[in-house]
Structure 1
Amino acid sequence: MAQTNKPAAQCPVFTNQKCELCEINDIMFQCKDCDELMCETCQKSHLKSKASKNHKMVCLISPEMYQINKTWKKCQSHTEEDLLMYCNTCNVPICRECIASRVHPNHSMVKVEEVIDTKQQELSNIIRQTNEKSERYKDILKTITRNKMQFSKSVAKTIKESKARNKQLKIRLDNIESEYIKQLENKDKVHTEAMAKLEQRLLKEMSDLNQLIQQCESKQGQRNVEMAQFVTGIMQQVDKYTYCEQPDEESPPNLITRDVDDQELKDLFGHLDMRRNPEVDHLLQLNTKVPTAIPVIDVKIISNFTSENTQVVTKSNDQALLWRCGERGISLVTSDGDVIQHIHTDFCVYDAVVSTSGDLFVTEDGGNTVKKITRHNLITDIYTEQYKYMARGITVTVTGNVLVVLYNSRDCKIVEIKTSGKHIRTIHDPVNNKQLCKFPHYEKIVVLNKQGQRRFKYQAEGRQLKESFSPQYVVTDTQGHIIISDYYNSVVHVLDKNGKFIQYLISPEHGCHWPVGLDFDNHGRLWVCNTGKKEIDIIKYL
């Protein structure tokens, strides 16, 4: 008789498909020669037939399932009884005797065939879900493979950029060295030539004086009119030679240096951006984003002019509004410092912003009102906050609405209003619906998203500052950089859009002293109120 192969299960154990020969029992075998599906009984008969006794049979279930299939229709407690029902409460199949013995009183029961159908559907769902997860894993593996390749390529690229940056700085240092050496050599040449000329002059005058001495010695002892006339003439010649004092030694040149710590060198060289890759974080939170070198920003102060003002908001390409808190009025000046117009107010301006329409929106110093100043200098109140709040900072959003910071001794919030003054929303802390902060101190920068949720804060951590971090004004440029004026440290910080420090835009080395107001004009130039020097600096770096 032909041997029956019993491989691992290739179809569900309790299949509803009936034998193609008897059409009564469930299939368990397949004849590879006849390509027929049959139950165990028909399989035995098939192999006993002379015509098919050598046919190859394949068992469609595993050996373990084969044994289970042989006994699954009989009750385990009453081995002679067929299974008729399935107890949903106990999750077991039961027979007639199980029901009669009331072992499962008041339990939920269904026919065994219905349970098999249900379990068959569940099994199909499990297979589908498992396949979906398997496909998802394949996608993740592809993403990881791609990310590894991109990461390695970018690391190699960044290493190349780092070497290039190092070479660039070395070239610039070599140029500085060459320039200093050239200056020193020129200085040495000029000094040597000057000393040589002085030496030649002294040697010649010494020779002339020696000749005069010999002439005087030849007349010494004579007591006549000729000697008297000689003395009169020789005195005139001696007076020609000025008395030469010992020349002061010229101070030799020195190279004046200062210690540069590692952090300053890193700031000069650049920073590595090692932020997380959101795509991979979403999948496995496994890899980091490709590192990129942040280039050092080259800064150029293109102009400046004298001014007592501390606040600035640009109005056009070459014009800006300047004022000091606590003073009544705002001056419109050019980039050369010429005052074009002075807008007088009967209140003190705290902060101001220019809308896209050219209208000016201001907050009153010590007041709770937002005022609008039109291009024709018509001043109107558009929004007044109640409950003893005071209006502080003000800005215009990309959608043209106005954001105003309001505070009192217990609370700080932001309101968004239309240019007409209509209230749109109030931004509180969305986590606990409480105040964003208490009285706004100048000690840190808190960045919110559009929904008012906190993204990050910046307190100049690791910046080795001489004084406490004292942010006064914050603006952003077209590249997403965050620019912060640090009053007590006389520096302007530059951060990327995620709050990572890049470098100081200007510092005391650039003549920065107590910066306050900041704003960009349409040329991308930054106007800085340099209050310590009482001037406005206009900077180009983009």
Structure 2
Amino acid sequence: MEPRSSAQDVHRCDLCETAIVHSYCDFCHVNLCKPCIGEHITDGYDQHKIVPFQQRRSTFINPKCETHPFKHCKFKCKNCENILVCSTCMASEQNGGHRFEELLDIYKTKKETIKNDAKELENCFFPSYEEIALNMDNQLSNVDGGYEKITTEISKQGEQWHREIDVIINRMKTEINEIKKKHRDVLQKHLDEIRQTQSPIKQTLQALRDIQESTEVFRTIEYISKVKDFSKRPHMVQVSLPTLDHEKLYSFFRHFTSFSTDTKENTSSLNLQNTSVRELLDEPELVRTITTGQHQYLRSVTCLEDDMIWVGDGTDNIHCFTINGTILQKIKTKSGKRTRDIAVDSSGNLLFADESKKVYQVKNGHTEELITFPGWVPCQMCVTSTDDLLVTMHNDDYTQSKVVRYSRSREKQIIQFDGEGKPLYSENGYIKYITENKNRDICVADYGAGAVVVVNQDGKLKWRYTGHPSVTKNKPFKPPGITTDSQSRVLTAGTDNHCIHILDQNGQFLRYIDNCDLEYPWGLCVDNDDTLFVCEFNSKGNIKKIKYLK
């Protein structure tokens, strides 16, 4: 504020600078005492406007006319853009017929706008900016302290991790020693059995040599061959050393995998860490045929509980059956379109994908939208051990296929190409059923490629299986369905050959299931007891329950 306008100073005349101000020239903006008024207007300028000092700045000062310098513009031409005119201009031929607006009216309107803007800036905007600036100042002042606290927490966490790692490493060493003892015990037991058999062989061999050297007729003719007693050769037992899964160590800092020690006896295996190893039956058994009464083609089956299954038949209906074929529940798709696949999450909630390009969840009887796929068509899906959702899909023009991992509706991982940038899956809209193995491998039955494609949890290709040659199986391998069991075996449907292929976790063929009157097996699942359920893709609407493990 200027000194002459402050309450602490008396306003003085701008001309003599001594006398107390009495008047004010509204055009020249000059403070005047009474004696100096005459001196100020002696220049003859007729536009001086002398008013009492208390009424200063009350006179409207119009701009001078650019065409007529001694006149002031009091109007604005509405026909000409931003043209101000005086009274002479208004009467000229150039502005004949034009409409005019008084500058005083415009001035008052603008003044009101300026007043409102100033009020809004002062009362709303400026305080908001001030509050934000203050918040930023506070955050800046707390940055160093906050990061110092985090650094301290990291150091403490590091110390805790080191202690935990030491404990885990010591435990692992103890486990290794226990496994080593079991390893030695298995080998020693088998060696002892072989030695026990070798001893009578040596005795018999020595007796034969004695007879060969003897000339006694009776001793020779009474000889009875014992070769058949030793013809059953002992099994070759191979015990592999335990392995450490480095990928999981790097991915999950605190996750150490169990050592796995297998004793391999021909095609069977003995896991020393797991006393509940279950071997394959020589002849799988058909336990039950569940007649659903649905005359559509059954595509998907998933276990809810040991005596309950969900079934999808490619219509807009999904049914829940008991193993006796009784319908417990029926759900229609929210969109009214056909289902593509079904799954059950860890909470027992039903998930389904349909032709609306969405995945839905049925929870407490209510169907809610979970995931939408713009530009892509969801096909088949499975729920993982971490309750993620794996979905196979192809784009709208059937030129690309991929697998996507979701956590709820958030995309976490895309699996589409191998290490050389080549597509992992057939580039078409053919069926690609999917499941997760116990070792977290992701297994896809790629019908269009005629292959089972298996990648690890990071999406790196591990192996492909394209069928096993057999004189009784003369049609191409086309797998529509796939599942895995508690022994990490992979089971996939060979629909055209009416059988199920069983593979180990490394893709090695173990055997077929082809003796249970299967007709076009399609969707597969196993329950908690490793009992297999198979959808038959035909008009009968049957599901076969098969026992294939001892």
Q: TM-score, normalised by structure 2?
A: 0.45
TM-score normalised per structure 1 = 0.45
